[in-house]
Structure 1
């Protein structure tokens, strides 16, 4: 189980993923060496990965939520094939193991049929498919992802740490140069790779590594994400709520849902149920409490559905194997 220092380390990383261990230690009230050791222990356990990702907006990619209902005896091979695709950024098995829910990236102007034909293998196991566009992401001010493990930092600490992250320039980010490939590959494996190690992997000088990182980060072309596996932290129930909300209430309901500690992601989508809310809970009773107190207390929701995740397949840049986050290249 996490103690207070662990929780502070996790929260500091979510606010600033490349924060030096010296600063992390200051925030957590431990030495630089202890902060590094605890971080490495979480990383080795498969509960945590910090990854550097190319912003999908660079390539004009939109995000689409796809729900694929399959024959239960044929779902596993299809799910694994989808999870390994680079254009699939998130994937779960749900609804008793017969439904694959995934988020895929594809240009907005691509016809709907082409999206499916390009990214969904033809298979007799597929019974039904629905695909909806994510039209808006809700980011609660001062937060950076799921904090249901217990946020031990006060708002002022969060504000200060978040301010240490690079602030991307406005407007569409430019694409990375071809020569950036080894740098980006290294950061996809470990977003906290040191400048010294990046110089070794790229053959660049330290000053060139620093300049290129600063350019990619400040332009918004390069983003960092802290991937967590909640099961490793004692939160074993993951669910998706599909809410139906009138347009007049959509902004308020989405923003309110995003503020809950149990919620890693909220997105407005184009389907009949037009708000997608992912929820992380400790157990069924914890999820029931969230549903009947937090969601029930939110006016403007006209209907809902629930998909219970039975198996994680992929996070943004990690496959999930034997209950651990692993880079795709390691399998």
Structure 2
């Protein structure tokens, strides 16, 4: 796909449909879009093959809400001339879900997913801080995640179409304690969240019927969250901005809920550290990113912006590797349980 080509109307509707229901059958998608199922599947495969769009999955809020996971954002400063080597080393790690080269007072921002804060601490001390080319780092543990990338929408469908797709989603259910099969499925789904039950069963050593039940439960409980991604330059939102802010502690939840409803916002999470809120958004331009910051303050008048960055190169997004134009080139399965901390327990 030429880098300057935008998605046509049907492509945008197709992506929006899969953002709502990433595993929706082609029969349903084709019915909603008014095209035949073969055409829908062929269009999607073209987008996947070109790196323009893809469906992935990662451990979700259902797991962290049960105290069974740790999400952290890590700022990394690199030794001069070592940035690319350091970034590539991080992209190879299965528990580093996202790697971004950014502007401002840090070189890289990592999204790290691990079992617990103890494992995070051992990894920071035993691996991160001793890695060649790393000059310093700062770790922010996420608390409440008010919204994240799986909830962002292209908004190409009309309300009736969107409701028709959403109607087929499984009802929410409480999260259970993930076992070995759940973990294997989580890793396999991170590669392709639309993989067939038969393929998942073969990969994970189970049966299609068992896998069907488990996958449905994992998504319904948000232990695993799937997302349909689109190459940012093809979405009319080519600039990614990250904002760190401070709010009075008793106003974080209310303000964050308002912020999460903003069109551009992809992530809004409470964090520890110098600031207590982190917001990531997509903007139409650098100028629009500045407007977005002003809109944040209007939305939450007590919010004080402490720092901001623009992503120059999102090198890895939820396990998927991206080129400098934002197109998918490969992936590293997301696996929070596959970590060498370099330290004994």
Query: TM (normalized to structure 2)?
Result: 0.81
- Which of 40, 43, 47 is equivalent to 2:45? 40
Is the contact made by 2:71 and 2:114 (CA closer than 8 Å) also made in structure 1? yes
Counterpart Cα distance in 2 of 1:7 and 1:157: 13
Contact 1:60–1:107 at 8 Å: present in 2 too?
yes
CA distance in 2, matches of 1:219, 1:113: 28
The superposition leaves residues 34-57 of structure 1 with CA deviations (integer Å, 9 ceiling, x where unpaired) of 222221222112122112445554
Task: Name whichever of 264-273 and 225-234 sits farther off.
Answer: 225-234
Q: Any conservation in 2 of the 1:68–1:126 contact (CA below 8 Å)? A: yes
Residue matched to 1:14 = 19
| Residue from 175, 191, 194 that aligns with 1:192 | 194
1: CA distance, partners of 2:47 / 2:205: 30
Matching residue of 1:167: 171
> How big is the shift at 1:106?
3.0
Q: Secondary structure at the match of 1:10?
A: helix
**For residues 227 and 262 of structure 1, what CA distance do their matches in structure 2 show?**
15
In the alignment, does 2:308 pair up with 1:306?
yes
| Distance in 2 separating the partners of 1:314 and 1:97 | 20
Alignment of 1:34-113 (within 5 A): 34-55=39-60, 57=64, 60-95=68-103, 99-110=107-118, 113=121
**Counterpart-to-counterpart distance in 2, 1:97 and 1:291:** 18
Is 1:297 matched up with 2:298? yes
Match of 1:29 among 16, 19, 34: 34
C-alpha RMSD of the superposition: 3.0
- SS across alignment from 1:105: strand
Give the paired residue count.
322
Taking a change above 3 Å as real, the CA distance of residues 319 and 119 of structure 1, as seen in their structure-2 partners, is: farther
For 1:162-241, what aligned pairs fall within 5 Å after superposition? 162-171=166-175, 173-178=176-181, 181=184, 186-198=188-200, 206-218=208-220, 220-241=222-243
Separation in 1 of the partners of 2:91 and 2:67? Answer: 21
Q: Residue deviations 1:167-200, cap 9 Å, x none? A: 35314x322435974x555433321123454466
1:151 aligns with 2:159: no
The reply on whether 1:130 has 2:132 as its aligned counterpart is no
Distance 1:168 1:94, change over 3 A: same
Any gaps of 5 or more consecutive residues in structure 1?
none
The change in CA–CA distance for 1:118 and 1:124 in structure 2 (over 3 A counts) is closer
1:227–1:316 CA contact under 8 A, matched in 2: no
CA displacement at 1:276 relative to structure 2: 0.8
Q: 1:28 deviation in Å?
A: 2.1
Following superposition, the deviation at residue 15 of structure 1 comes to: 1.1
Q: CA deviation at 1:114?
A: 2.3
Q: Report matched runs for 1:215-294 at 5 Å.
A: 215-218=217-220, 220-292=222-294, 294=295
TM superposition shift of 1:250? 1.3
Matched, 1:324 2:327: yes
Superposition deviation, residue 215 in structure 1: 4.9
Q: Distance in 2 between matches of 1:180 and 1:70?
A: 33
Q: Is the 8 A contact 2:14 2:40 kept in 1?
A: yes
Check 1:151–1:112 CA distance in 2 against 1; reply closer, same or farther (3 A cut): closer
Give TM-score scaled by structure 1 length.
0.84
